[in-house]
Amino acid sequence: MFLATQDKPFFPDELEAKFACAKRMGFDGFEIDGRVLMERAALVEKASSAAGLPVRAVCGGYGGWIGDFSEERRQQGLKDIARILEIAGGMGVAGIVVPAAWYGGRGLCKHRTPHYTRRGILRFHRFSFI
């Protein structure tokens, strides 16, 4: 088991400093934002290597949402996820975390379909159906 952290505002701004700080704090890995990975892959790999702290997972960072009612946004999400996985796989990263859609957010939940009322979303979330 590994103890990893997401990139949070309390870390320094620069990637190399973020990785070094997380390593000093005792973390075994780093969860990078997918957009950062797509836009700055070489720098992410360099910072990870320099700190001796591997990227263990990628979270979000893609445009669109895979469950969006808009086919265009859904396709953009799938395209970005494929690119993130391609880059991450080359770095030995285990996978990507795809956050659930929350009430009031983009995608399915904003349309408030009958089976996705606020109460329904909370019920589904509690039982890990979303």
32-68 residue pLDDT tens: 999 999 999 999 999 999 999 999 999 988 887 777 7
The top-level CATH class assigned to 4-99 is alpha beta
Q: What confidence score (pLDDT) does residue 83 get?
A: 94
pLDDT level of residue 110 (50, 70, 90 thresholds):
low
Q: Which helix (H) or strand (E) holds 6?
A: strand 4-6
Backbone angles phi, psi at 65, to 5 degrees: -150, 135
**127: pLDDT strictly greater than 90:** no
113 DSSP assignment: -
Q: What confidence score (pLDDT) does residue 100 get?
A: 63
The pair of structure tokens assigned to 126 is 């509690």
Percent of the chain with pLDDT over 90: 52
Question: Each residue of 75-98: pLDDT tens digit?
Answer: 998 899 999 999 999 999 988 887
Q: Which helix (H) or strand (E) holds 48?
A: helix 34-51
Q: What confidence score (pLDDT) does residue 66 get?
A: 77
CATH 3.20.20.150 domain span(s) along the chain? 4-99
SS3 of residue 23 by DSSP: helix
Single pTM value for the model? 0.74
